[in-house]
A and B are shown apart, each in its own frame.
Chain A
Amino acid sequence: MTCSRRQFLKDTATTTLAAALPVSTMVFLTPGELKAAVENKKTRWTFLVDTNKCVGCGMCVKACKLENEIPYDAPVTRTWVERYVITKDGEAHIDSPMGGRDGFIDDKIRDEVIDPKDITKAFFVPKLCNQCENAPCVQVCPVGATYQTEDGVVLIDRDWCIGCGYCIMACPYGVRFFHPVTKTADKCNFCYHRTSKGLEPACVQACAFDARKIGNLKDPDDPVAKTIATKRVAVLKDEYGTKPHVFYLGLDENVR
């Protein structure tokens, strides 16, 4: 009896070890290796949003949906614009009807009328995929259907995605959704088909107020890289450790 119990313990230990094996396949780089690897790359696409300039016209959302073939009337979108109206009582009234696709032409927020006299500040915040350096969505994909390209953009393989939705759950920014036609996960990719041809993303081109800009963080002469280096910029939800690469000018503490 004692013998078989020892045998049991031994087997238990072996199995536990065997089960832990897959973990060892993860590649851990030392900080030095990682730095060298990143520095060798020529391009790191980065976005700059100036919330001071945005007027909430929503042309970026419209252009994005048409450019990227996201069904126009579906309630999902790769980029969206949020409206923040802060009143004297300190409350933040936030909305983004249809992702701001049709702009903000009504002063009501979810049918609530806000007296202009009560407003202390109000602003618009465009949102899009942050193309995180430590993308949690990529980490959790069980089949390698989403990944980071050499130039820092996270793409989704529509022919390999199984549609489990784990990446959607893992993104703290809520940028991912299921594409109604392809039935796979979808999100902004900085218009990869445009940037790789030397064009600006559709939303950047459509913005008449220079609120949206794209640049290459690796290029010291790039205007966006210069702004990020010299101005006071912020990112969204950095407490998640995702290292987002969409930088914001004029970000307010109320922004979620």
Chain B
Amino acid sequence: MKNHVLRPLWLAIGLVLLIMVARHFMVPEDFGVHGDSFTYNYYRLSNVDEWKDFPVKYQGRERCSKCHEENFESISHSRHKKIQCENCHGPAAGHPREVKQLVIDRSREQCLRCHALLDYPNSRRGMMKGVVSEKHKRKFECSKCHNPHNPNLEDR
């Protein structure tokens, strides 16, 4: 007689079973706790390798120096020696094979990143050689006078 009372319960159990089956098929096999804690280490393990395989774009100046020895040499004696080639020449991934020519950023804005005059006391920026762009040879690219690889005008 009491039999029918349990019918909604069977429905509930059926639903739970359905979720269990779905879990079996839809959760990646390497999903689980990989580490010490469920709080911070519950994840899909293969994702770590996926991130490791993310393509690298910036190659670093050592790679550039292999072919562009002269330019590398010239800049490494100048006050700009700390600046990476790719900061102005752009990321070198695929160069020279797929990307024949890198696009060089010769804009005034590129130089102004460091050399726009900001009169800040107690700041390294305040010590940089700076110009007020609107008042300094507005119509020209900086490289017209200053060689980025050797920016000192006296050395030219």
Q: Which of A202-241 contact B (CB under 8 A)?
A: 202, 205-206, 208-210
Name the residue on A nearest B32 (C-beta).
Answer: A144
Residues of B within 8 A of A138 (CB): 39-40
Q: Smallest CB–CB gap between B13 and chain A, Å? A: 14
Any chain A CB within 8 A of the CB of B72? no
Contact partner of B112 (CB less than 8 A), chosen from A103, A124, A206, is: A103
Contacts of B125 in A (CB 8 A): 54-56, 104, 122, 124
Check A52 against B124 for contact (C-beta < 8 Å): yes
A192 engages B51 (CB within 8 Å) = yes
A149 is an interface residue with CB less than 8 A from chain B: yes
A63 touches B124 (CB 8 A): no
Residue interface mask A51-81, B partner, CB < 8 A = 1: 0111111110011001110000000000000
Q: Which of A3-11, A12-20, A24-32, A167-175 contacts B (4 or more CB under 8 A)?
A: A24-32
Closest A-chain residue to B124, C-beta based? A55
Asked if A164 is at the interface of the complex by the 8 Å CB criterion, the answer is no
Q: Cβ of A27 and Cβ of B122 under 8 Å apart?
A: no
B36 neighbours in A (Cβ, 8 Å): 27, 29, 33-34, 37
Known: A147-B40, A157-B43, A193-B56. A121 touches B123 (CB 8 A): yes
Instruction: Report the bound CA distance from A25 to B39 in whole Å.
Output: 10
Q: Does A89 contact B (CB under 8 A)?
A: no
**Which A residue's beta carbon lies closest to that of B119?**
A116
What are the residues of chain B within 8 A of A105 when measuring CB–CB?
109, 112-113, 116, 133
B60 touches A122 (CB 8 A): no
- In this assembly, does A182 line the interface, its C-beta being within 8 Å of a C-beta of chain B? no
Considering only residues 79-96 of chain B, those with a C-beta below 8 Å from chain A are: 80, 82-84, 86-87, 90-91
Q: How far is the CA of A157 from the CA of B42 in the complex (A)?
A: 11
Roughly how many angstroms separate A139 CA and B52 CA in the complex, as a whole number? 23
User: Which among A155, A160, A202 is the interface contact of B51 at CB below 8 angstroms?
Assistant: A155
With A25-B38, A208-B87 known as contacts, the answer to whether A123 contacts B123 (CB < 8 A) is: yes
Is A111 at the interface (CB under 8 A from chain B)?
Answer: no
Give residues of chain B (93-146) contacting chain A, Cβ–Cβ below 8 Å. Answer: 109, 112-114, 116-126, 128, 133
| B19-42 to A contact mask, C-beta < 8 Å, 1/0 | 000000000000101011111111
Output the least CB separation between A41 and chain B (Å).
Answer: 9
A85 to B126, CA, bound (A): 12
Given A121-B121, A155-B51, A103-B41 contact (CB < 8 Å): no
The answer to whether the Cβ of A150 comes within 8 Å of any Cβ in the partner chain is yes
Q: Which residues of A contact B47 (CB under 8 A)?
A: 155, 157, 159-160
Q: Given the known A-B contacts A54-B124, A104-B116, A119-B120, are A26 and B39 also in contact in the complex, defined by CB atoms under 8 Å?
A: yes
**Interface assignment of B155: CB less than 8 Å from any CB of chain A:** no
Q: Which of B44, B113, B117, B126 contacts A57 (CB 8 A)?
A: B113
* Chain A contact residues, CB within 8 Å of chain B: 25-27, 29, 33-34, 37, 52-59, 62-63, 66-68, 85, 102-107, 116, 119-124, 134-135, 138-139, 144-150, 155, 157, 159-160, 189, 192-194, 196-197, 199-200, 202, 205-206, 208-210
Q: Which residues of B contact A (CB under 8 A)?
A: 31, 33, 35-44, 47-48, 50-58, 60, 80, 82-84, 86-87, 90-91, 109, 112-114, 116-126, 128, 133
List 10 interface pairs A-B (beta carbons < 8 Å), by A numbering: A27-B36, A119-B119, A119-B121, A121-B121, A122-B123, A123-B120, A157-B43, A159-B44, A192-B54, A196-B52
